[in-house]
Structure 1
Amino acid sequence: MRRAGGWLPQAWLLGLALAWAGAASAAETAAASMSVVTFNLHHDREDWPERRRVIQRELERLQPDVIALQEVIQKPHVRNQAAWLARKLGYEYLFVSTDPPGRFKRYGNALLTRRPVLARNEHLLAPLRDYRTVGHLRIDVDGQAVNVYATHLNERSDEDGKRIRGEQIADLLAFVARTDGGAPVVIAGDFNAQVDAGDLSPLRQRYGDSYGSVHVNNELAQVSTLNRHYFDAPRRIDHVFFQQDQLVAREARLLFDEPYAEGRWASDHYGVWTRLQFAPGL
């Protein structure tokens, strides 16, 4: 048997290191965080009554704090999709559209939350002829105010589309500056551009890409939020951006990236789920 000065101190040091690691892990777990989903609904195409049940079940399982939805539609015989999901989930919601209330068909974006709502705003993005919007909710996450914004930018891939998205990003950032009230900011949606696109540069300079932050060592070029059943080339265009001096991205993954039945999908996009942790001192 070896003396106490042999293996015992080494075992003690190993135990101490494991204890420190466990304490750090426990502290990270205990720190306040919030989860966000962004998802393009593909409005009511294909079998919406079945698709909505699949979407509802997954969102019920995840219980995200915030859900940003794009391509939300309401029309005769189709109840507002965000309103339907909010009622099923027990969430509050904000629906934003360039179509005025009372019109027989309305199309736009939405934010759903299970947290108390402190403020809400909406804005039509420039250029107005492109019919794009941003919705805003300030919510209370366990005593911490957080701003969440949802948008859907121009879809064209040509130079005109890039120019329009650049104008929309500038207007979006100005709207955020007017409405954030000094609280942390999250911006989610379908940006119709990959995260390193030049037209997103002003946004990327101020906010972090949650999925890219978590999966920094992976081959991101092959990650797609466009459903590969519908689109040939992989493109990650659905994003959750976060204020990096206030929040830290801890987890991120794709949702609805498998068919729920043979040849049947929740949408022509995959969703993105992320968990954001509040920075120390908030």
Structure 2
Amino acid sequence: MDRLHRVAASLLVYSGLLLCAAPLPALAGALEHGTTAPADAAPGFSVVTLNLHHDRDDWPRRRVQIVETLRRLQPDAIALQEVLQHESLPNQATWLARELGYQSHFVTTDPPSHKRRYGIALLTRTEMLEDGETMLHPLEDHRTAGFARVMVGDQPLNLYFTHLYWAPDGAATRSQQLADLLAYVDATAGDAPSLIAGDFNADATAPELDALHAGWEDAWGALHPDADVAASSTLNPAYFSVPARVDHVFAQRGRLRPVEAELLFAEPDADGTWASDHRGLLVRFSLATDAEPAAEPETP
């Protein structure tokens, strides 16, 4: 009987070890997506930027794919452009935030009394400690930039989001709007690190974005320096014949280190419905210190 008891006890211990080991793949996945990290690792943060294409092309069908993808990825923040609401359409950002369990900050030049309101928004998984907004010149273009501050571990992080003028010949207007945005960053950022996300309607290397190059790093460009234009395009080729990378996430140099960048919604759903006329961009960062080396670019 003693030998049988010893065998049974050994089996129980072995079973317990198997049960303890079972969650390790899930833990590995959590580490990969930045939701859990070793105690001595730099805290991570993930952000998605996506132009929603307002309510065109069957929004009720498109939003299903958007919600499913964002729910799976669980980014820490989501910057949205072309956000719309009207009499028969609840605010798209508010709706998405409710479906995902996020907070929402909607920015527009349309008065609250208007039934139709159009603008940009930021969604965050955690509480926004502070938020704000500013208008961009020329005022007749009705462009804005928004801001929110969140905590990443014990570190505050500033999130800025915008959508610049669209026309191909509008470089001077975009340059002016960017100058307004950077002035707003200077006035509100304090000592916290910052990132800027949105649809800039220009390539990251375009002359009108020169003011960003000294203090800000283009996350996709840093991680995929040799990717060709078609592979990097954030314009959906099902809608646009000429590829272009116009949706960006810029990180403050020396404060945020991009570690991963990927395009989202690059394929339609099973029914052939595209999520948007733009691809989304997901970027993951670590909160860097001045002593940390710059991120090594990936081989595409």
TM above 0.5: yes
Amino acid at match of 1:55: I
C-alpha distance in 2 between matches for 1:113 and 1:137 = 9
- Which residue number corresponds to residue 20 of structure 1? none
After superposition, give the CA deviation of every residue in 1:28-84 in whole Å (9 maximum; x if it has no partner). 993211000000000000111111111011100010000000000000110000000
Asked whether 1:194 is paired with 2:203, we answer: yes
Shift of 1:261: 3.1
Q: What secondary structure sits across from 1:145 in the alignment?
A: strand
> What are the superposed Cα offsets for residues 200-237 of structure 1, whole Å, 9 maximum, x if unpaired?
11022221001111112333565200000000111000
The aligned residue for residue 259 of structure 2 is: 250
**Correspondence for 2:223:** 214
Summarize deviations over 1:123-150 as a string: whole Å, max 9, x none. 1111111100011001111111000011
Question: Equivalences for 1:105-144 in 2 at 5 Å?
Answer: 105-144=116-155
Q: Kindly state the Cα deviation for residue 262 of structure 1 after the two structures are TM-superposed.
A: 4.3
Q: How high is the TM-score relative to the length of structure 1?
A: 0.87
CA distance in 2, matches of 1:120, 1:209: 24
Residue 238 of structure 1, aligned match among 229, 238, 247: 247
Within the candidate set 18, 25, 35, 2:46 is matched to 35
CA distance in 1 between counterparts of 2:271 and 2:100 reads 27
Q: What is aligned with 1:100?
A: 111
Q: Structure 1 residues 28, 169: closer, same or farther in 2, change over 3 A? A: farther
2:130 pairs with 1:91: no
The answer as to whether partners of 1:230 and 1:268 remain within 8 angstroms in 2 is yes
CA distance in 2, matches of 1:138, 1:220: 33
Q: Is the 8 A contact 1:138 1:146 kept in 2?
A: yes
Whether 2:63 is the aligned partner of 1:52: answer: yes
Call closer, same or farther: CA 1:142–1:28 in 2, change over 3 Å. Answer: closer
Instruction: Report the counterpart of residue 8 of structure 2 in structure 1.
Output: none
Q: Residue 68 of structure 1 is aligned with which of 79, 86, 94?
A: 79
Distance 1:126 1:29 in 2: 44
Name the residue aligned to 2:237. Answer: 228
Counterpart of 2:11 in structure 1 is none
**Matches of 1:41 and 1:230, distance apart in 2:** 14
* Map of 1:12 onto structure 2: none
Structure 2 regions of 5+ residues with no counterpart? 1-36, 292-300
Give the aligned residue type for 2:234.
Answer: T
1:178 is matched with which residue: 187, 192, 201? 187
Report the alpha carbon displacement of residue 118 of structure 1 after superposing the two structures with TM: 1.4
Q: 1:109 to 1:103 in 2, by over 3 A?
A: same
- CA root-mean-square deviation: 1.7
TM-score for both structures, normalised by structure 2: 0.82
**Alignment correspondent of 2:275:** 266
Q: Deviations over 1:238-281 (max 9, x none)?
A: 00000011010000000001011343200000000000111137
Q: 1:137 to 1:276 in 2, by over 3 A?
A: same
Distance in 2 separating the partners of 1:55 and 1:29: 34
Give aligned pairs, total.
255
Paired amino acid for 2:112: P
By how many angstroms is 1:93 displaced? 0.8
**In structure 2, C-alpha distance between the alignment counterparts of 1:242 and 1:29, rounded to whole Å:** 22
Q: Percent of aligned positions with the same letter in both sequences?
A: 52
Instruction: Please say if residues 212 and 220 of structure 1, whose CA atoms lie closer than 8 Å, have aligned partners that are also in contact.
Output: no
**Which residue is equivalent to 2:287?**
278
Secondary structure, counterpart of 1:212 in structure 2:
helix
Runs of 4+ in 1 over 3 A off after TM superposition: 26-30
1:249–1:276 Cα contact (<8 Å) kept: yes
Is the alpha carbon distance of 1:166 and 1:281 closer, same or farther for their aligned partners in structure 2, counting shifts above 3 Å? closer
